[in-house]
Amino acid sequence: FFQRTLTAVRSWFTQFGWPRGQNPISIPYSLRRDVSIVQLTVPQEKIFKRKLDRDKGFYEMILHLNGQPIPGISATQSLPLDPVERMFQLHWQHSELLSFLKSQGASLSHVMPEFLLEPEDYKMWAECFTSEGRRGSMRSSGKLSGRHFFVLKDRAFETMSKRAWTDVLLQIYKVLVLPRVSFRVVPDPSSLESLPNMPRIKSEPLSSNIYSRYERVILIWLNKNYEKNRKIVWKDSQKGGIPPTRWIVNFDQDLLDGLVLAAQVAAYCPYLMPTHFIRMYTDPKTHEQFLHNCLILVKALRAVNLNMGIKV
């Protein structure tokens, strides 16, 4: 499950997270590396094999998705040359990132700033805590607070780091991308009540403890498009006639047979109906029929250049 989630997150941010086209990322490796590269003068850069592309750094992605930088952190932040000072600045930047995201509503209380560091920096951070002399001097200088901590071994740290960066990206999507969804994509949400046998999904903030307001707006959009288009998309169906009315209340079980997503695609690309969608099973019962429908849906997405590596 976590690997599938990571793959989906990596695919979305690779294709849509950057201001100038695609930028392949690996979680956590490329993200940790990009925020850790020291930006040097031109003569100093010659001794390094890789320079950070100013348009493809992690904080450049944040700037692109948020519309403005995180307070106090520039998209082209410079780092000290001294390894210890550099580690502390990175730790501070990660702390500011987490604080900013949590202030926007992100659920990241389980992610510590040190989990976002490179392994070498994490070891340095851990050494600062486990060395009694250095720990005392750090606390006296105010650089480390007296919070609880635990030191991870190499393999455990890599596992934790991968999970932490995945969760950070998921929460970035939640608080910086989903809020772009507005009722403008659903001109009249209350009109669902006028559709036969179609209960209304409320969009008020406290009406669900599972989905955010923005996710419920998307559910409204799914319901409205499906109910509006099912009789149009499958009026000439070759495999079962017009599908029945349904109430779409989640993003997993209710989308498994491909029909709901096909109705959304058909609303914007009606020319796919005679070439693809009329061949879908409109009342699928078996795993083979579900697979058949999803094959057609993926082929339809590829036909309009939405080839995002989606597995059937």
From CA 128, how far away is CA 141, in angstroms rounded?
Answer: 13
From CA 217, how far away is CA 203, in angstroms rounded?
Answer: 6
Question: What's the pLDDT at 130?
Answer: 73
pTM for the full predicted model:
0.74
Question: What's the pLDDT at 310?
Answer: 79
Question: What's the pLDDT at 191?
Answer: 52
Assign 173 to helix, strand or coil. helix
From CA 35, how far away is CA 28, in angstroms rounded?
Answer: 11
List the chain residues with pLDDT less than 70: 37-56, 75-77, 131-149, 183-209
Question: What's the pLDDT at 260?
Answer: 95
Cis peptide before 28 (omega within 30 of 0): yes
From CA 282, how far away is CA 187, in angstroms rounded?
Answer: 28
Determine contact, residues 79/89, Cβ cutoff 8 Å: yes
Question: What's the pLDDT at 209?
Answer: 66
Residue ranges of domains in the chain: 1-132+150-180, 183-304
From CA 208, how far away is CA 216, in angstroms rounded?
Answer: 9
Distant-in-sequence, close-in-space partners of 28: CB < 8 Å, separation ≥ 6: 116, 161, 162, 164, 165, 166
Question: What's the pLDDT at 188?
Answer: 52
From CA 89, how far away is CA 128, in angstroms rounded?
Answer: 14
Question: What's the pLDDT at 204?
Answer: 61
Could you give the dihedral angle defined by the CA atoms of residues 68, 62, 122 and 87, in that order, rounded to the nearest 10 degrees?
A: -30
From CA 94, how far away is CA 139, in angstroms rounded?
Answer: 19
pLDDT tens for 275-305 read 999 999 999 999 999 999 999 999 999 999 8
Classify the phi-psi angles of 24: left when phi > 0, otherwise alpha if psi is within -120 to 50, otherwise beta: beta
Question: What's the pLDDT at 208?
Answer: 64
Question: What's the pLDDT at 243?
Answer: 92
Q: Which tokens go with 9?
A: 């997150």
Determine contact, residues 178/215, Cβ cutoff 8 Å: yes
- 44-49-50 Cα angle (round to 5): 90
219-242: b (≥16 Cβ within 10 Å) or e:
bbbbbbbbbebbeebbeebeeeee
Question: What's the pLDDT at 277?
Answer: 94
Question: What's the pLDDT at 207?
Answer: 58
Question: What's the pLDDT at 138?
Answer: 45
pLDDT tens for 122-175 read 999 988 877 644 444 444 334 455 556 678 898 999 999 999 999 999 999 999
Question: What's the pLDDT at 4?
Answer: 87
C-alpha 47 chain-centroid distance: 35
